[in-house]
Amino acid sequence: MGIEIERKYLLSNNEWRKQVRKQVLFQQGYLANNEKSSVRIRIEGDVANINIKSMTLGRSRSEFEYVIPLSDAEELMNTLCFKPIVKKTRYWVDFAGKCWEIDAFNEENQGLIVAEIELDAEDEVFEVPSWIGKEVTHLERYYNMCLREYPFSQWTDKEKEAHCIAVE
């Protein structure tokens, strides 16, 4: 069984942009979700996959991911995935021996930027960069599936102020 252990954070400033080593446009469409799991199609540049994740909220979740043909992914996104499709630019930043993935969301979620770090254990100790802000790992609204259902553009000003630091 695949297990994903990750933590999610908002950003406190834009200093991370000076350290970007790579960036790729991502598109994610959801085929299904229920109280136990979500099934998504993801296109990362010219690579596509299907992903199944448990709906567990927190640092650890079951995850299975398989490469599929790009043409199949495009067809699935266009015909079977719920709309809207989540679009974002993912940036990779190395810091203190760890890779941080920073997602700057587009379209319906424009203005939201979330940083993630994948870990080997829930209690793994790691150095936190100065550009990292509030942890949002346990806040469901920051999960991509939730952003599809309730995009950042629909959040009230109060919700944005309470949970997000604008850094664009």
Closest CA to 32 of 96, 90, 76: 76
Which of 30, 91, 142, 143 is an active site residue?
A: 30
Residue 146 in contact with residue 86, Cβ under 8 Å? no
> Who contacts 10 (Cβ-Cβ below 8 Å, separation ≥6)?
113, 114, 115, 133, 134, 136, 163, 164, 165
Two structure tokens written together for 2: 């695949």
Residue 59: CB atoms within 10 A of its CB come to 17
Q: For this structure, is 9 an active site residue?
A: no
Positions marked active-site: 30
